[in-house]
Amino acid sequence: MNAVITGAASGIGAAVAEALVARGDRVLACDINADALHALADRWPDELLPHRLDVRDSAGWEAALDAAEQRFGRVDVVMNIAGFLEPDFVVAASDDAIDRHFDINVKGVVLGTRAAARRMVARRAGHIINVGSLASLAPVPGLSLYAASKFAVRGFTLSAAAELAPQGVGVTLVLPDAVETPMLELQVGRDEAAMTFSGRTLTVAQVRDEILRALTTRQVEVTIPPSRGRLAKVATLWPAAGIRLMPLFRALGRRGQRKARL
């Protein structure tokens, strides 16, 4: 199998890329951090091709897919894993934070999905995996921009799945809870991000394994863990009730943050 993965320089993207090449697949590993990509590629010189990509750049996407096809012959799977998060309350959100949340998290996924789908539809084969978040399902005070961007990712991805299924292209949305990555580390000391720590955080390996499983099952939507996914869906069905419960979850989250600092 030949895959293109964004956000591959660290965290979930790097873990998935390494797992794929370890089992014999070939990967075009994409990220804006070229140095980290080359360090990863040094471990897998034959199976992993590093490629600097800004996911906000439409032409850059075409160049990345061209590079993968030239090296591997075809692209079977595209995984949109790259993401951005900056905690902030609504009144304090900067213009830059607004732009980066929507440009990276939403526009990047849309451009990647479109570029991959055009080529996959022509072959009537392929699989696109987009990584959202449980914040795609329920409001998260303190992370309003992130939640809004991930809500958009969910709406787009599920719509794309319905469009592309009859054309032979599978689309999967993966929605993990908070994951032990650099994105989580930057939230530990931020009161705005207390909600992130209201449950048990996931390991990168847990999310990696669910993404690899999705390659086989081709489920349309995967929540990790399922129990928190169900809770998030209930919260968004009755938003007024969910808002009343937010102080409880923020209190739980602050306790989780204190433990994370230890």
Report residue 149 as tokens.
């961007």
SS3 183: helix
DSSP designation for 186? T
Please report the pLDDT score of residue 235 as a whole number. 77
Please report the pLDDT score of residue 180 as a whole number. 86
Cα–Cα distance for residue pair 140/180, rounded to 1 Å: 18
Please, what's the largest Cα pairwise distance for the chain?
54
Please report the pLDDT score of residue 150 as a whole number. 97
- Rounded to a whole number, what is the distance in angstroms from the first to the last CA of the chain? 42
Please report the pLDDT score of residue 261 as a whole number. 67
Backbone angles phi, psi at 128, to 5 degrees: -115, 130
Those residues of the chain that have pLDDT short of 70 are 193, 195, 241, 253, 261-262
Report residue 258 as tokens.
């204190």
CATH code at 2-187+201-226? 3.40.50.720
Sign of CA dihedral 157, 159, 164, 165: positive
Is residue 172 among the annotated active site residues?
Answer: no
- Do 125 and 229 meet the contact criterion of CB atoms below 8 Å apart? no
Cα–Cα distance for residue pair 223/210, rounded to 1 Å: 9
Angle (deg, nearest 10), helices 58-72 and 108-123: 40
- Give the active site residue among 44, 84, 146, 156: 146
Cα–Cα distance for residue pair 191/58, rounded to 1 Å: 36
Amino acid residing at 196 = T
